[in-house]
Every structure is written in C-alpha cells, then in structure tokens.
Amino acid sequence: MKNLIVLIALFSMVFFGACGHKKAHENVKGERKELKEADERREFKEKGGRRELKEADERKEYKEEGEREELKVPEKFLAAFKQKFPEATEVEWGSESKNEMEAEFTMNGKKMSASFDITPVWTETETEISEKELSAAVLNTLKAEFAGYKADKIEIIESPDLKGFEIGLKNGEKAVEVVIDNTGKVIKKADMKEEKEKEELEKEK
C-alpha cells in the first residue's frame, strides 16, 4: 500500500510537471505569436505611412503641374520676351504678382530671369554668376565692408535704372542681401528675412 502511494505521488509529479512544462511552452509560443503580430502591425502601419507620404507627394506634384499648365502666358508677353531675348532656351514662365510676369531661361550657358510689367515692358534681368566673375572693385567692397560674410548667391542685376550685382551674404545665422554697382558702391543692403516677407506680400497683391 505504501509503495502504491509512492507510485501515485511520483506519477502525479511527472504528470503535473509535464502539464506545467506544456503550459509554459504554450505561454512562450503565445508571447512569440503576440510579438510577431505586433511586428506585423507596426510594419503594416509604417508601410501605410510611407504610402500616404508618397501619395501626398504625388498629389502635390500633380497640383504643381496643373498650376503650371493653367498659367496661360498672353501673346504680348511672349512677343516682348522674344524680341529682347531671341536666343533664350528652356523658358519657363511664372508670376510673382498680379502686375508682373517673370520668365526663367538659359542663354549663353547662363541661368537667367527677366521680369515684365503688365504693359508689358521689361523691368529687370538677373543672371547667375560665380564669385570669380565679380570685378575687382566689387570684391574689394565685400572684403572691406562685409568681412566674415560668405557669398551665397550672386547675380548680375540689370534694370532701366541700374546695372550691378545682387549678392546674398551669410555669416552664421546672419543673412543679408546687397546690391553693388560696377564701381563697388553699395546701392542697397537688406536683411534676407525682411526681403522674403516683402516678396510674400507682393505675391498676395
């Protein structure tokens, strides 16, 4: 009888031990399954986010293309531009305000832009150049009056009243835009942030 009780006790230990091991194994499997499902949900969410960003970019690009197509350039502007810049290529038109049209184009290997008022009469031309193309007088002015600044963007600027250089300068967080004539005289100096705000206001007019 005593031996029977011992056998029953041993059997119970083995049986319940096996059950406990099985249950623990099932718990581990369950946790792994939950982790896998969580990873799948996260991956699905990330893919969805990327897809939404891609679709947003596509909608933005489509909208911009539509806006370019909607911009109908009156024939009088095309004729005035062709007369002044007969050798221009890669011409793209835009409008910075209701009273002005601007054409960006390439001519003689240079990136340029030209503005016309509503008449249309030519008002300004800007031509991108490098710092090494600046005259000695302009370089001397930059060294003397804007020491520590580095040229960010340089353009030849020409209008009925002026021919000189428009130069964007940066010194750390400071950014200014200056206009210097061919003799090296500073015609205009403005804070870049203020200039951008003015441009935004002009576009709204």
- Global pTM reads 0.60
Q: Which two tokens stand for residue 185?
A: 């005289």
CA–CA gap between residue 73 and residue 93 (Å, rounded): 7
Residue 121 DSSP class: -
Taking a C-beta distance cutoff of 8 angstroms, is the pair 165, 142 a contact? no
Query: 97-148 pLDDT, tens per residue?
Result: 888 999 999 999 999 999 999 999 999 999 999 999 999 999 999 999 999 9
* Mean pLDDT computed over 184-205: 76
Place of tokens 């004729």: 79
CA–CA gap between residue 79 and residue 77 (Å, rounded): 5
CA–CA gap between residue 73 and residue 112 (Å, rounded): 18
Three-state SS for 193?
helix
Residue 36: pLDDT above 80? no
pLDDT of residue 22: 53
Residue 63: pLDDT above 50? no
